[in-house]
Structure 1
Amino acid sequence: MKIPYSINPGRHRALELLLSRHSPWPLAGPVPSDEELAVVFAAALRAADHGRLQPWRFALVRENALAALGDAYAKVALTMRQDVDPERARTKALASPMVIAVAARLDVQSKIPEHEQLLSAGAATMNILNALHMMGYGGFWKSPPGGPEGPLRALMGFGPTERIVAMIHVGTAKEESRSPMKTDPSGFVSEWQGAEAHVL
């Protein structure tokens, strides 16, 4: 997609990076440094947040803790369908050198609808992915085994009011790849001109 040249050059570059974001796989090292991770999480906190509830929690998994995550995945597999292989589940947890679990901490007493709190956690997830991409790393969004409220939640230390919305696999793409998705949004966008225009 062509970006208008009237846009400030610095912002122009940022948009170029945003439009090139994709989910590379497989991922290997290197992974972000502690300084880079601080920026990644700061970007996550810029997510839209109705009511300023800050309904996000993040669990960083790296190095030796990846083996423990593999154990947790295997335990979850044993609680699922009989055709789920625990060792295969363990392998999935070890498929990248770093994982960031994102959970939504729901405030059920708040006037802010639950779905908005969940969407805010999703927005934080997307900010993480965008920040990783802009730094030259890859991020791949996967669902938690067993679902958002499954046994992995407690195994990872999240509370009963929290839901795991994403397991972000982090690393560097092993090979150059490009997004297979089309960048033309015309097939997804319409212009609403008022209710009267759609009265049957």
Structure 2
Amino acid sequence: MASTAINPASDALSPADLLASRRSIVPDALVGPGPSRAEIDRLVEIALRVPDHGRLSPWRLILVAGETKDRWVERLLALADTREDAAKVRVSTRKLACAPLVVVVVSAAIPGHKVPEWEQWLSAGAMCMNLLNGAHAMGYGANWLTGWHAYDAQATALLGLEEGQKVAGVVLVGSIAEPATPRPRVGAEDVARWLTL
């Protein structure tokens, strides 16, 4: 149970209002307690409800929490120290430390399949979004990151990725210590138009 969460998600909100109220929470504001094991199972169940052309399941989830997360972050920091941009990537890596749960979404697209790889990649992206919405609906905050550790071969090797697999997103989940600061957003009139032929 997210006892310290100050998430506006509520049973009083309609599903549409709930989706409209979702915000990405800065990593430092994602704190314990995190979701329970039963809540994590439910969150994964929600994540799996994505469009999946051909029923390929072209994604995998890697759940990272507790002492394992601490060791993972330590190893990433050690790798960061070997890079030319060490100071910058250490800051990026530290973002992984606060949230009690990290869900790494892995794109496991099947090359050469009749379902284009692009559609398979999009399905992995949809899984990241479902995790964000699911966490929000359950009263938790979340943030979808990538960062250097999503692209560096040594960093991704720590996750045991198979050949051809890529990190689609690193989703941090936790209770919300501080709400997201409102920010200007584009309006529908800026990005949507009706097709006329």
TM-score, length-normalised on structure 2? 0.83
1:65-87 CA-partner distances (Å, limit 9, x unpaired): 1122213322442454x122375
Structure-2 residue corresponding to 1:118: 121
Q: Displacement of 1:152 after TM fit? A: 2.1
Q: Displacement of 1:148 after TM fit? A: 3.8
In 1, the alpha carbon distance for the partners of 2:67 and 2:32 equals 15
- 20-29 vs 174-183, which moves further: 174-183
Q: 1:30 aligns with which of 8, 21, 33?
A: 33
CA 1:31–1:84 in structure 2 vs 1: closer, same or farther (change >3 Å)? same
Q: What is the root-mean-square deviation of aligned Cα atoms in Å?
A: 2.3
Identity %: 31
Unaligned runs of 5+ in 1: 1-9, 195-200
Q: Displacement of 1:153 after TM fit? A: 1.9
CA 1:145–1:40 in structure 2 vs 1: closer, same or farther (change >3 Å)? same
CA 1:146–1:66 in structure 2 vs 1: closer, same or farther (change >3 Å)? closer
Structure-2 residue corresponding to 1:136: 139
In 1, the alpha carbon distance for the partners of 2:92 and 2:191 equals 35
Unaligned runs of 5+ in 2: 1-10
Structure-2 residue corresponding to 1:73: 76
Structure-2 residue corresponding to 1:161: 164
Structure-2 residue corresponding to 1:57: 60
Q: Is the 8 A contact 1:96 1:170 kept in 2?
A: yes
Letter in 2 for 1:96: A
Structure-1 residue corresponding to 2:85: 83
Q: Displacement of 1:23 after TM fit? A: 0.6
Tell me if 1:193 matches 2:193: no
CA 1:24–1:88 in structure 2 vs 1: closer, same or farther (change >3 Å)? closer
Higher relative contact order (CA 8 A, sep 6+): 2
Q: Is the 8 A contact 1:74 1:89 kept in 2?
A: no
CA 1:76–1:122 in structure 2 vs 1: closer, same or farther (change >3 Å)? farther
Structure-2 residue corresponding to 1:17: 18
Q: Secondary structure at the match of 1:64?
A: helix
Alignment coverage as a number of residue pairs: 184
In 2, the alpha carbon distance for the partners of 1:62 and 1:140 equals 15
